[in-house]
């Protein structure tokens, strides 16, 4: 007899499509608001970098290298005299692009796999899960090194490694969710109506498992940016003259004593991005959690 | 006695006397007044029923009696609860703890979750006895065995070492009842004690409970939504709707001549084995009220077939319609 | 082929549904079997409403699902309109599903929270090719009206409705494909008392209007009595008594039925006061993992005899349409 709960609440009769209700719920958390704001700002900067950048990120001026911040160069210049601020703006494009694409690719692959495994069950599920476990054991970094050796260094290695390894986490999460949702009465109801299995998977199960997947995506974006930074730091990611936050951080590291801003600024950008995505992820998790437990 | 806003001030020689109890819950969408000025008495040895549907505030009332409302989100915001003349809402923590389980005991609905799964039955059963009666050692063991025996649990000595999951739902509830009466309380509050159980087990348990309280002279506050259970066991009945008591009467009066439209509606809409199978069910129209958005005036009026204009403007106050028979309604009805 | 009367819609022959209890590292080792349904023979006429009562663990829900082949039968056959369901593949069965539907117990969890009510109600029509997008929308509107809901609510989500309203949506969904047969699995148990009557009346009105055949599952004898023509009482996976409505309540023969009837309190003070002696069952219900040998009720039956411990009684007809499985009447 808990249809309306102990306080007798009945939802008000206003139509609200779940996606926007979700956004509204997330925004209620201050940290998530902050995170969203920062991400929006970063995306804006990235998209409009060509317009916003006061200088070309590639224009070298060896005489004015490693300059301190001035009215001309807001954050100073790098070791080749290029405007740091502009390089960071263009770097945002790279980092955010790699982060988002990596997360998207691994999410897509992982969710499809997890859906399939969870829904089919039995032997297929077992096989897929063993394959997942195998991939999980493989250290991605070694793979990136190997790929760099084989295909040459570049950002594509990062995306590739996420595609090949990042899907495992999503597959696990998705499969777990599917196993849970599969047992819910409305799935049985769909079967009793005569809904074919594929439609049950896409129309009934998938929309109801997206919650933790969305949270995982935000976290993965953060991770991917971090990985890209690390890889570029090692020199295996963004190649000259492309700017990326990780690359700037790496190059700037050598000049830490004289021109600290050179590496601190990109470091701050990286941290800001990752933390913001995590805040949003936390907000999503909090907003979805109680509803997920009762699923509506 | 505090200033009561009820139209009639019932002289209280009662064991438990609740006056104008108000409990609020803060939710995301606003404040819900789960219990809105509830007043009733429980006399020594009496079986009083608190009847209503989900969301009417009966469980919140029960929890409030033992000050078990957790803040946040809930808070007791008004009224008094006089137990043996002393207002529990003013008492300090130590006093309340001394009363809980000892003078006033509570039995909950879900025996699965109200028994701690990681402790043995013996440990849990003995806890109130240890705490309140200071029993220990062999005396304690004997008392526990005796309790289990009187509740028809076979092999009590061995079963004291068992864990809750090793018992069936009915047996767990029997253990809960045993825990409840173990310290010989003055009042036992049973919050929907058998709702989760089968009909035959329910009958067994309620009979057991009735036998125990009758033999010990304990009062029982029975919270339920089942009118049949009320007819079978209760001496007095309080009907709740949207946080208020709409009718309060002896069980005989209530079933013989109900005077509130909600009570009448309930009795007519419930499928009954004692009426001809062909007799039509007369449902109560409409939906249960939205606790965040209660109707103006009488909360029941949108669903009431007898509603008049006044009902939508002003909430009715309890009036006397018989010997210790109160109801809150503007319309003059006769059964 | 089985001989059944022309107007028999559902026939069950020796139906058994057993669930293995698995244990071990990979969940492979079977350590027991739950005998949810154990040897049920039943025939339901077109247009009839059969009430199915029993307490938890008696197998009534499983039996209802077996009739719709939502669970697989371990043994026996299920016939729908002469077609043997148990022999069909999932693909072959799907078009038949149109004609047999279910209304579920929990109105909230039996509706997809991310689909609007309109989408939920139109889905059966779309899936069975009965209507296109536009037409199914129109028909869904009509259906909502039929079950007493405001058609404007088509684009709302389940969480925006109250429990009784959600159950109406569930009923509308069951009606969408224009079925012949509906299994109602405790459809009012999760609803408030004041709403139950509304839904029971709705079931009645729909049945009369559309000529539906129902199996109405409930644990409450009073609720079942209202709608049913015949009532079957189940205990631990078997039907112990089956009789037309009037006779079952007037002269219950099986001790279990008698116990059920006497255990259920009635909201009438005078009647309750007069009812002194309750026909009590000893102890708790045994688990369906280990059903007792002989008559399954014998450990708890106040009238058990030596015979009952050894031999399981068969369902025998005592009077017209009234069958009992009890040695007292052999």
Tell me, yes or no, whether C301 lies in a domain. Answer: yes
Q: Say yes or no to pLDDT of B3 above 60.
A: no
Tell me, yes or no, whether C158 lies in a domain. Answer: no
Q: How many domains would you assign to chain C?
A: 1
pLDDT at B334: 62
- Chain-chain contact of A10 with B225 (C-beta, under 8 angstroms): no
Tell me, yes or no, whether C128 lies in a domain. Answer: no
Q: Hey, what are B58's tokens?
A: 């009966």
Alpha carbon of residue B118 to chain centroid:
28
B133-164 pLDDT, tens digit per residue, is 888 889 999 999 988 988 888 888 888 999 98
Nearest-angstrom CA–CA distance, A257 and A259: 6
Nearest-angstrom CA–CA distance, A199 and A213: 20
- Chain-chain contact of B277 with C249 (C-beta, under 8 angstroms): yes
Nearest-angstrom CA–CA distance, C237 and C254: 15
**Which residue is closest to B266 within chain C, CA to CA?**
C194
Query: What is the CATH classification number for the domain harbouring C85?
Result: 3.40.50.300
Contact with chain A for residue C158, Cβ under 8 A: yes
Q: Say yes or no to pLDDT of A14 above 60.
A: no
Tell me, yes or no, whether C110 lies in a domain. Answer: no
Where helices occur in chain B by DSSP H, the ranges are: 58-65, 93-99, 111-114, 121-133, 137-150, 156-159, 169-181, 199-216, 227-233, 251-256, 261-269
- Sheet of B30-42, strands arranged across: B30-42, B16-27, B74-83, B86-87
Contact with chain A for residue C155, Cβ under 8 A: yes
Q: Residue B215 contacts by C-beta under 8 Å, 6 or more apart in sequence?
A: none
Nearest-angstrom CA–CA distance, C171 and A259: 72
Tell me, yes or no, whether C34 lies in a domain. Answer: yes
Q: Say yes or no to pLDDT of B331 above 50.
A: yes
Instruction: Spell out the per-residue pLDDT of chain C, length 330, in tens.
Output: 445 567 899 999 999 999 988 776 666 677 888 899 999 999 999 999 999 999 888 999 999 999 999 999 999 999 999 999 988 998 999 999 999 999 999 999 999 988 999 999 999 999 999 988 899 999 999 999 999 999 998 988 898 888 899 999 999 999 999 999 999 999 998 898 889 999 999 999 999 999 999 999 998 888 899 899 999 999 999 999 999 998 999 999 999 999 999 888 888 888 888 776 677 787 777 878 888 889 999 988 988 888 899 989 999 999 889 999 999 987
Among residues C244, C237, C281, C284, the alpha carbon closest in space to that of C260 is found at C281
In this structure, how many other beta carbons lie within 10 angstroms of the beta carbon of residue C70?
17
Q: How confident is the model at residue A289 (pLDDT cuts 50, 70, 90)?
A: low
Chain C residues touching residue A189 (CB < 8 angstroms): 102, 104, 110-111, 170, 173
Q: Residue B192 contacts by C-beta under 8 Å, 6 or more apart in sequence?
A: A1, B59, B109, B223, B224, B225
pLDDT at B242: 94
Please give, rounded to a whole number of angstroms, the shortest distance from the CA of A289 to a CA of chain B.
15
Average pLDDT over residues B238-259: 94
Tell me, yes or no, whether C145 lies in a domain. Answer: no
Domain that holds residue C193: 8-99+179-329
**Which residue is closest to B109 within chain A, CA to CA?**
A1
Looking up tokens 């825990």 gives: B179
Quote ipTM for the complex. 0.87
- Chain-chain contact of B283 with C220 (C-beta, under 8 angstroms): no
**Which residue is closest to C92 within chain A, CA to CA?**
A194
Alpha carbon of residue B283 to chain centroid:
25
- Chain-chain contact of A8 with B56 (C-beta, under 8 angstroms): yes
Please give, rounded to a whole number of angstroms, the shortest distance from the CA of B313 to a CA of chain C.
24
Q: Say yes or no to pLDDT of A16 above 80.
A: no
Tell me, yes or no, whether C129 lies in a domain. Answer: no
Tell me, yes or no, whether C1 lies in a domain. Answer: no
């Amino acid at each position: 007899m808990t249809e309306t709960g102990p306080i007798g609440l009945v939802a008000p009769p206003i139509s609200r499509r779940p996606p926007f209700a979700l956004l509204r719920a997330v925004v209620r958390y201050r940290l998530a608001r902050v995170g969203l704001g920062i991400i929006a700002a970063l995306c804006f900067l990235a998209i409009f970098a060509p317009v916003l950048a006061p200088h070309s990120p590639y224009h070298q001026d060896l005489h004015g290298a490693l300059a301190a911040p001035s009215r001309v160069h807001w954050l100073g210049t790098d070791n080749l005299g290029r405007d740091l601020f502009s390089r960071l703006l263009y770097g945002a494009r790279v980092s955010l692009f790699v982060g988002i694409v990596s997360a998207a690719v691994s999410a897509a692959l992982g969710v499809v796999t997890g859906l399939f495994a969870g829904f089919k069950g039995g032997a297929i599920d077992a096989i897929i899960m063993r394959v997942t476990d195998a991939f999980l054991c493989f250290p991605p970094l070694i793979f990136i090194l190997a790929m760099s050796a084989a295909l040459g260094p570049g950002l594509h290695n990062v995306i590739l490694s996420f595609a090949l390894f990042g899907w495992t986490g999503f597959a696990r999460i998705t499969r777990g969710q599917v196993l849970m949702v599969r047992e819910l009465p409305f799935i049985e109801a769909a079967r009793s109506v005569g809904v074919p299995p594929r439609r049950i998977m896409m129309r009934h199960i998938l929309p109801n498992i997206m919650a933790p997947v969305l949270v995982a995506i935000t976290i993965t974006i953060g991770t991917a940016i971090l990985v890209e930074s690390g890889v570029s730091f090692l020199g295996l990611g963004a190649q000259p003259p492309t700017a990326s936050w990780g690359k700037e951080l790496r190059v700037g590291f050598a000049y830490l004593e004289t021109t600290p801003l050179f590496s601190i600024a990109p470091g701050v950008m990286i941290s800001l991005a990752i933390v913001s995505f995590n805040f949003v992820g936390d907000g999503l998790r909090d907003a979805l959690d109680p509803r997920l437990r009762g699923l509506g | 006695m505090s200033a009561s806003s009820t139209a009639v001030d019932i002289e209280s020689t009662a064991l438990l006397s609740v006056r104008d109890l108000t409990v609020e819950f803060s939710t995301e969408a606003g404040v819900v007044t789960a219990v809105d000025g509830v007043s009733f008495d429980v006399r020594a040895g009496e079986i009083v029923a608190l009847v209503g549907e989900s969301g009417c505030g009966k469980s919140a009332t029960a929890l409030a009696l033992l000050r078990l409302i957790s803040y946040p989100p809930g808070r007791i915001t008004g009224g008094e609860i006089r137990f043996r003349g002393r207002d529990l809402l003013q008492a300090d923590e130590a006093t309340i703890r001394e009363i809980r389980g000892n003078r006033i005991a509570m039995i909950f609905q879900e025996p699965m979750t109200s028994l701690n799964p990681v402790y043995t039955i013996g440990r849990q059963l003995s806890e109130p006895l240890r705490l309140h009666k200071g029993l220990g050692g062999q005396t304690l063991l004997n008392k526990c065995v005796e309790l289990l025996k009187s509740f028809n649990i076979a092999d009590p000595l061995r079963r004291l070492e068992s864990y809750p999951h090793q018992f069936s739902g009915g047996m767990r509830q029997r253990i809960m009842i045993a825990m409840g009466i173990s310290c010989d309380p003055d009042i036992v509050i049973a919050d929907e004690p058998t709702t989760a159980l089968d009909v035959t087990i329910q009958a067994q348990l309620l009979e057991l409970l009735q036998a125990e309280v009758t033999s010990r002279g304990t009062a029982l506050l029975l919270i339920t939504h089942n009118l049949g259970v009320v007819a079978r066991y209760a001496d007095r009945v309080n009907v709740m709707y949207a946080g208020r008591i709409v009718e309060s009467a002896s069980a005989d009066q209530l079933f013989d001549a109900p005077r509130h439209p909600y009570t009448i509606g309930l009795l007519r809409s419930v499928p009954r084995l004692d009426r001809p199978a062909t007799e039509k069910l007369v449902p109560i129209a409409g939906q249960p009220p939205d606790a965040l958005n209660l109707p103006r005036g009488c909360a029941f009026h949108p669903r009431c077939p007898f509603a008049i204009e006044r009902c939508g403007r002003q909430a009715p106050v309890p009036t006397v319609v018989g010997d210790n028979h109160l109801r809150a309604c503007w319309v003059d009805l006769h059964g | 082929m089985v001989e059944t009367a022309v107007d028999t819609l559902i026939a069950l022959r020796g139906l058994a549904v057993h669930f293995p209890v698995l244990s071990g590292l990979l969940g492979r080792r079977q350590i027991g079997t739950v005998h949810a349904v154990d040897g049920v023979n039943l025939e339901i006429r077109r247009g009839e409403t059969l009430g199915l009562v029993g307490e938890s663990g008696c197998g009534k829900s499983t039996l209802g699902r077996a009739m719709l082949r939502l669970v697989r039968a371990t043994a026996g056959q299920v016939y729908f309109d002469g077609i043997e369901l148990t022999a069909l593949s999932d693909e072959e069965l799907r078009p038949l599903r149109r004609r047999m539907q279910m209304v579920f117990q929990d109105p909230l969890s039996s509706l997809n929270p991310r689909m609007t009510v309109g989408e939920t109600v139109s889905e059966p029509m779309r899936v069975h090719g009965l209507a296109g997008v536009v037409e199914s929308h129109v028909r869904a509107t009509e259906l909502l009206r039929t079950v007493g809901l405001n058609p404007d609510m088509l684009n709302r989500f389940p969480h925006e409705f109250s429990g009784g309203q959600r159950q109406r949506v569930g009923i509308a969904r069951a009606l969408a494909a224009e079925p012949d047969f509906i299994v109602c699995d405790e459809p009012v148990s999760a609803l408030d008392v004041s709403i139950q009557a509304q839904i029971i009346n709705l079931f009645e009105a729909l049945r009369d209007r559309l000529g539906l055949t129902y199996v109405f599952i409930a644990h409450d004898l009073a609720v079942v009595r209202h709608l049913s023509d015949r009532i079957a009482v189940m205990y631990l996976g078997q039907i112990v008594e089956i009789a037309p409505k009037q006779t079952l309540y007037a002269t219950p023969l099986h001790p279990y039925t008698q116990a059920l009837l006497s255990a259920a309190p009635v909201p009438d003070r005078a009647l309750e006061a007069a009812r002194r002696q309750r026909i009590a069952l000893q102890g708790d219900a045994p688990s369906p993992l280990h059903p007792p040998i002989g008559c399954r009720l014998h450990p708890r039956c106040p009238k058990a005899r030596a015979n009952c411990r050894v031999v399981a009684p068969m369902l025998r007809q005592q009077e017209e349409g009234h069958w009992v499985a009890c040695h007292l009447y052999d």
